[in-house]
Amino acid sequence: MIDTGALRTQPELSGETVVLAQLDDSYFEGAWRALRDPEVIRFTGTHAKFTEERIHEFLASRPGLADRADYAVLRKEDRVYLGDVVLSDIDEDNRSGAFRIALTGPDVFGKGYGTEATKLLLDYAFDVVGLNRVSLEVFDFNPRARRVYEKAGFVREGLQREALWWEGEWHDVVTMAVLKSDPRP
Dist. CA 155–CA 178, nearest whole Å: 6
User: What is the closest distance, in whole angstroms, from the C-beta atom of residue 165 to ligand COA in the complex?
Assistant: 17
Residues 116-175 that bind ligand COA (CB under 6 A): 138, 142-145, 147-148
**103 lies in the binding site for ligand COA (CB under 6 A):** yes
Contact assessment for residue 117 and residue 12, using Cβ atoms and an 8 Å cutoff = no
Binding mask 52-91 for ligand COA (x = CB under 6 A): -------------------------------x--------
Strands 81-91 and 169-179, bridge-based pairing: unpaired
Q: Please, are residues 110 and 52 in contact by the beta-carbon 8 Å criterion?
A: no
What span, in angstroms and rounded, lies between the C-alpha atoms of 129 and 8? 10
Q: Tell me the number of residues near ligand COA by CB under 6 A.
A: 22
Q: Which is nearer to ligand COA, 7 or 102 (CB)?
A: 102
As a dihedral over the C-alpha atoms of residue 42, residue 119, residue 2, residue 97, rounded to 10 degrees, the angle is 20
96-103 and 81-91 strand pairing: antiparallel
Smallest distance from ligand COA to CB 184, Å: 15
In the set 115, 124, 126, 176, which binds ligand COA (CB under 6 A)? 115
Query: Which residues of this chain interact with ligand COA, rule CB under 6 A?
Result: 39-40, 43-44, 83, 101-103, 109-115, 138, 142-145, 147-148
